[in-house]
Structure 1
Amino acid sequence: MKIRITIGLIFFLSISTFSYASRIDTLVVHSSVMDKDIKNVVITPDSYSEKGKAFSVIYLLHGAGGDHKDWLKKAPEIKTYADFYDVIIVCPDGYKTSWYFDSPVDPTMQYETYISKELISAMDTSYNTKSNKENRAITGLSMGGHGALYLAFKHHDIWGVAGSMSGGVDIRPFPLRWEISKRLGTYAENPGNWESNTVMNLVHLLDGKNLKFLFDCGVDDFFYDANKGLHEKLVERNIPHDYIERPGGHTKAYWRNSIKYQMLFFNDFFKANTYETQID
């Protein structure tokens, strides 16, 4: 694996006055599985320069049509959150419509392997990270919300906490949208690919102990029914989780509000595990 680096809640009432000094890098990782270079935004907090210090890492996945710069455009305050919570934030380029699968029909689209193995390894090699699941989080919006839960449900040995904002947690109702058929084949000809790669059908991978997660969706969002359905399925199976629904649609304003709560959720998880480690 080749790696190249280019320099490139919170108390909600006080966050707007918090002065950030975080640094933004572009980490370029060569994906062996796809044989191409992939760009990733990496935001390090001001305290990163402190000698001998290691940091928890939060991975933020973009939605359909986005790229590694998408989160900085939609919610530039994530630079502040990196400082405020003293964490590293990583925004991978998941291609415009990868859906973060390892595509069974397109070998050039292997983003599950890229995110969960190649990028994790690159981050832990290139940055001062706390390289364990207790200090690693993943979330995203829309396609990225699906991707975050998809990856966390399948790899809860890698991520200890996860989230989703307006996530497409059930892709089956959308067989003609967002190029999903290019990643899985058409639903009519490849129903098994769709059934086995939708978050809704991955609940059986959860034991209620190895992953803490939060997901939310606006009641006016076209993914609302899917998110509510996932919540109900988890309740039926007695799988602990946090679920929030609030007014709002599939909009930047909704995600800018949502990420504040998810950052707080992740911070609580990191702090709780730090305390438990100290006690042990």
Structure 2
Amino acid sequence: MKSIVTLFFSLFLSAFFCVQAAKVDTVVTHSQKMQKDIKAVVITPDSYARQTKFPVLYLLHGYSDRYDGWVTKVPAIKDLADLYDMIIVCPDGAYGSWYLDSPIDPDFQYETYIADELVNWIDQNYRTIPSRSGRAITGLSMGGHGALYLAFRHQDIFGAAGSMSGGVDIRPFPNNWDLAKRLGKQSEYPERWEQNTEIGLLHLLTPNSLQLIIDCGTEDFFYEVNKKLHEALLYRNIPHDFISRPGVHNWDYWGNAIKYQALFFNRYFETNKMKK
């Protein structure tokens, strides 16, 4: 009899915690500019049924990955949605898009898609806080570049941004990761490479115009460009959090880094709530 009671109690607890868990949906959005449908994962917290409006964290994947990479490889991001009562959106950035509007390939217009088309779709279909005070964006590797790039260029859309092991300066890598396919050869179009890298966009920032967090492992091949970005931000008196600890370019590092980033963005969202 005791074993039966224990079994039913265990089943009850399992059902209870399943009900309390964040909800993960795959949605299909449409890009008018690229004339194609694009998938995204949308994670809504358990509290979505009880609260009115929610902040949104846009979480970008890296080169060669796709929209479900984060939720598949770091399932704990669902817990972060519950912990901080935020919606997490993981869009598809295609294979090597770098989240740019490519001047040479009309099929890669991902700046417009993320910062305009997707944000508007999410605001229309979910109970969001539809302003920069309720939006943050971050990502890993190519997605780290994309998050800072989009936030720097669209400060009316995003109020906070981060990067994890981000390719925050693309200029040292002219032959890597399809960058030349998106921008043309660096030797032929050096101005494009200057205009589409974070180091070349710092003039867009003023102190506290964005809340920023940058994280990169000391053994990462992107570590030096991240350190130089950190130093350039210091030189320009741009406040930011910079995290550097032992680690390489892998999911173990990013699975840990996203916890710090989510906490940072939650503090940004909560500060804005208190100002209202």
**When the two structures are superposed, what TM-score results if normalisation uses the length of structure 2?**
0.92
Deviations 1:70-94 (A, max 9, x none): 1012211001111111110000000
**Aligned equivalent of 2:212:** 213
**Aligned equivalent of 1:40:** 40
Query: What is the letter of the counterpart of residue 54 of structure 2?
Result: F
1:229 equivalent in alignment to 2:194: no
- Secondary structure of the residue that 1:99 maps to in structure 2? coil
Aligned-partner Cα distance in 2 for 1:162–1:209:
12
1:127 equivalent in alignment to 2:133: no
% identical aligned pairs: 58
1:18 CA displacement = 11
Query: What is the letter of the counterpart of residue 258 of structure 1?
Result: A
* Unaligned runs of at least 5 residues, structure 2: 1-16
Aligned-partner Cα distance in 2 for 1:183–1:19:
44
**Aligned equivalent of 1:269:** 268
Aligned-partner Cα distance in 2 for 1:158–1:268:
18
Aligned-partner Cα distance in 1 for 2:20–2:92:
24
User: For 1:1-280, what aligned pairs fall within 5 Å after superposition?
Assistant: 21-50=21-50, 53-277=52-276
> How many residue pairs are counted as aligned between the two chains?
260
**Aligned equivalent of 1:4:** none
Deviations 1:65-121 (A, max 9, x none): 010001012211001111111110000000010000000111111000000000000
Aligned-partner Cα distance in 2 for 1:101–1:47:
34
Residues 35 and 85 (structure 1 numbering): CA distance in 2 closer, same or farther, change over 3 Å?
same
Aligned-partner Cα distance in 2 for 1:75–1:215:
19
Aligned-partner Cα distance in 2 for 1:182–1:37:
22
Structure having the larger proportion of residues in helix:
2
Contact kept, 8 Å, 1:19 with 1:80, in 2: the verdict is no
Aligned-partner Cα distance in 2 for 1:234–1:180:
24
Aligned-residue CA RMSD in angstroms?
1.4
* Unaligned runs of at least 5 residues, structure 1: 1-16
Residues 19 and 228 (structure 1 numbering): CA distance in 2 closer, same or farther, change over 3 Å?
farther
Residues 38 and 18 (structure 1 numbering): CA distance in 2 closer, same or farther, change over 3 Å?
closer
Deviations 1:103-159 (A, max 9, x none): 011111100000000000000000000101111010000000000000000111101
Larger radius of gyration: 2
Aligned-partner Cα distance in 1 for 2:71–2:85:
18
